[in-house]
Amino acid sequence: MANNARTILTLSKSTCRLLCLPPSAATNLRGPFSLSCPPPPNAITNLNSYSTRNGMPTSRFCPPFDTSFNGATFSSSTRTPSMSIDLQSHAFTRNPIRSKIPKPEHPLSAGPSFESLKTKLLGKTPLLSSPDFKILPFRKGWPLVSCIRGKGNDDSASGWDLGWISLADCKSLMALSGTQMTEDLLVYLGSSVEDDAVYWAVDFSGKDNLAEELGQKQLSFIELRTLMVGTNWSDSWAMGQLAVAGHGRALLDWHRTSRFCGHCGERTVPMEAGKQRECSNQSCKLRIFPRVDPVVIMLVIDQENDRALLSRQSRYVPRKWSCLAGFMEPGESMEEAVIRETLEETGIEVGEVVYHSSQPWPVGRRTMPCQLMVGFFAYAKSLDIKLDKAELEDAQWHNREDVKRALTLSEYEKTQRTAAAKVAQMCKGVQNRHSQSADFNTEDGGLASMFFPGPYTIAHQLISSWAYQDKGK
C-alpha cells in the first residue's frame, strides 16, 4: 500500500460527523493511514437523525456532536485517524443487525437461535424465553417492502420499511403455496439485543400467489436497485435498512446458486443457520461458504495537469461517465489488478495505487451474489489513451473544475425523490409491481453536461473525494 504524501485529505465538519470523529478533527491531514472521503455538498449531512422505527434496532451509530463548532484545527502529529476508521457511508454498509455480533453461546447468536427456531417449528415450548423472530421474504432477489406514510398525501415525503413478517405468518404463507415450513428454509441475518429479536431471510421465489396475498396488505417485493436509488442517503436508518436487504439478497442468491457440490455433484444442504452449506454425500461432505467477488474500481489521476480519467460503457445512458473497474484475477494483488485493468482498457500506465474505501455490491450480476467494490486512486505515469473498444465506448481526461461543475449541477436528490415516490406507489399497488426494471435508469444527471453514478456508489465517492480534495500534494 502506497503511503507517501499523496494520501492527503480534507476533513470537513460534515465529514467528521460521517466518520464519527469530533468536529475538532476538521483539518487537512497528511499521512499513510488517512482515508480520504470529503462528501460533495449535496451528500450525507445528517447522520445523527437515526430514529426509532418499528421492527429494527434503535441504537445510534454516531454520537451527536456540537454543531456550533467553527473551524478549529489540530496537528496531524498529535491526532491521526487510524486505518480502523472506515465508516464511509456507502450504500449496503452499516448493517444495524450485524453491528453487534453476539458471542456464539448467546441466545441471539446464529447457533442457539437456530435451535430455538427448530423447537418453535415443532410446536414445542422452548425451555427458555424465546426471542422475537422476524422474517424478511425475498422474491427473485427483491425484498418485501412496506410503505411508511408521510404527512399528507405527498408520496415523496414517505419512505419505505422492510416487510418483516412473523414466524407464524411465514408458516401460513408457506402452507398457502403448498410448502411445509422447515428451519432449513430460513437464513440467519443478525440480531438485536435491545429488541430481543433475531432476523431471518426466506426465499419466496416461485410462489407467485404469495405476492398477491402480500399485496393485499400493501406489502410489495421491490427491486433492490430501485430501493437503492430511492433511499435517502442522509437518513442513516434508511441506509441501514438497505444494508439489511442487500445482505439478505446476497445470502439467498448464494444459496440459490450453490445447491450442488462442485466436487462430486451431489446436493448440498444449508448448515449453521444458513451461514454455510455442506455436500450431502457422506464420503465428500465438502463445506462451502458464501461467495464474494472482489472488483477493483479506480479513479486514475493525472496529478501534473490536475485531471481525472473518466470512462463510458456502451450500456450507460447518455452523458453518464464513471471510474474504471474490473474483476480481480486469481493470483494477483488488488494493486496489480488496478494497474492491469487500467492498462488493458485505456493503455495508460499507472504508478502509485492508493486505497480509498470499499463497498459491498449485491446488485450486480445474479450469478455473483455479492461483489466487493474496492476503491483506489491510481496515479498515471503516461497520459495517451488507447481505448479498448470491446470494453469501453469512451475514456477521456476531465479537469477538476468540470468534474466539480457536473457534481454541482447533477440533480441526485431529485432522482432520489423520484425513485422514492415510485417505491411508495409500488407499495400502495398504484404502479405495476412487475415492471420496475427501467427504474434504475431514472438517472439523467439533471442540467449537467456530464454526470456520474449517484452518491450510493463508491464511484461517486471516489470522484467527489478527488474533486473536493485540496490540490496541494
Residues forming the site for Zn ion (CB under 5 A): 261, 263-264, 266, 279, 281, 284, 286
Least separation in angstroms between residue 370's CB and Zn ion is 23
Measured from the CB atom, the residue of 117 and 279 that comes closer to Zn ion is: 279
- The answer for residues whose C-beta is within 8 angstroms of residue 1's C-beta and 6 or more apart is 32, 335, 354, 355
Measured from the CB atom, the residue of 266 and 394 that comes closer to Zn ion is: 266
Q: How far apart are CA 6 and CA 350, in angstroms?
A: 14
Measured from the CB atom, the residue of 181 and 271 that comes closer to Zn ion is: 271
Least separation in angstroms between residue 287's CB and Zn ion is 10
Measured from the CB atom, the residue of 284 and 387 that comes closer to Zn ion is: 284
Strand ranges of the sheet holding 287-288, from the earlier edge strand across to the other edge: 268-271, 276-279, 287-288
Measured from the CB atom, the residue of 96 and 290 that comes closer to Zn ion is: 290
- The answer for residues whose C-beta is within 8 angstroms of residue 138's C-beta and 6 or more apart is 144, 201, 202, 203, 204, 205, 221, 248, 249, 252
Measured from the CB atom, the residue of 260 and 440 that comes closer to Zn ion is: 260
Measured from the CB atom, the residue of 115 and 266 that comes closer to Zn ion is: 266
Measured from the CB atom, the residue of 286 and 292 that comes closer to Zn ion is: 286
Measured from the CB atom, the residue of 266 and 413 that comes closer to Zn ion is: 266
Measured from the CB atom, the residue of 263 and 381 that comes closer to Zn ion is: 263
Least separation in angstroms between residue 389's CB and Zn ion is 43
Least separation in angstroms between residue 330's CB and Zn ion is 22
Measured from the CB atom, the residue of 281 and 442 that comes closer to Zn ion is: 281
- Three-state helix/strand/coil letters over the chain: CCCCCCCEEECCHHHHHHCCCCHHHCCEEECCCCCCCCCCCCCCCCCCCCCCCCCCCCCCCCCCCCCCCCCCCCCCCCCCCCCCCCCCCCCCCCCCCCCCCCCCCCCCCHHHHHHHHHHHHCCCCCCCCCCEEEEEEEECCEEEEEEECCCCCCHHHCEEEECCEEHHHHHHHHHHCCCCCCHHHEEEEEEECCCCEEEEEEECCCCHHHHHHHHCCCEEECCHHHHHHHCCCCCHHHHHHHHHHHHHHHHHHHHHCCCECCCCCCEEEEEHHHCEEEECCCCCCCEECCCCEEEEEEEEEECCCCEEEEEECCCCCCCECECEEEECCCCCCHHHHHHHHHHHHHCCCEEEEEEEEEEEECCCCCCCCCEEEEEEEEEECCCCCCCCCCCCCEEEEEEHHHHHHHHHHCCHHHHHHHHHHHHHHHHCCCCCCCCCHHHHHHCCCCCCCCECCCCCCHHHHHHHHHHCCCCCC
Cβ pair 254, 288 in contact under 8 A = no
